[in-house]
Amino acid sequence: MPKIKVTKTNPYGLSMKQRLTIEDMLNDVKQGKGLKPAKSTEKIYPVKNSNVAQTMAIENLGRPNYRQALIDGLLKRQIIGKDSKIEQKLNQGLNAKTKDNRKDHKTRLGYIQEINKIVGVYSPLKTENKSLNLNVDISKEELDTRIDELQAQLKNT
Total domains present in the chain: 1
Does any domain span residue 62?
yes
Q: Which of 55, 52, 51, 67 is nearest to 18 (CA)?
A: 67
Mean pLDDT of the chain: 86
Does any domain span residue 45?
yes
Instruction: Tell me the pLDDT band of 119, cut-offs 50, 70 and 90.
Output: low
> For residue 1, what pLDDT is reported?
58
The parent domain of residue 35 ranges over 1-77
Does any domain span residue 22?
yes
Q: What is the DSSP letter of 133?
A: -
Does any domain span residue 142?
no
Does any domain span residue 144?
no
Does any domain span residue 139?
no
**pLDDT above 80: residue 130:** no
**CA angle (64, 50, 29) in 5-degree steps:** 55
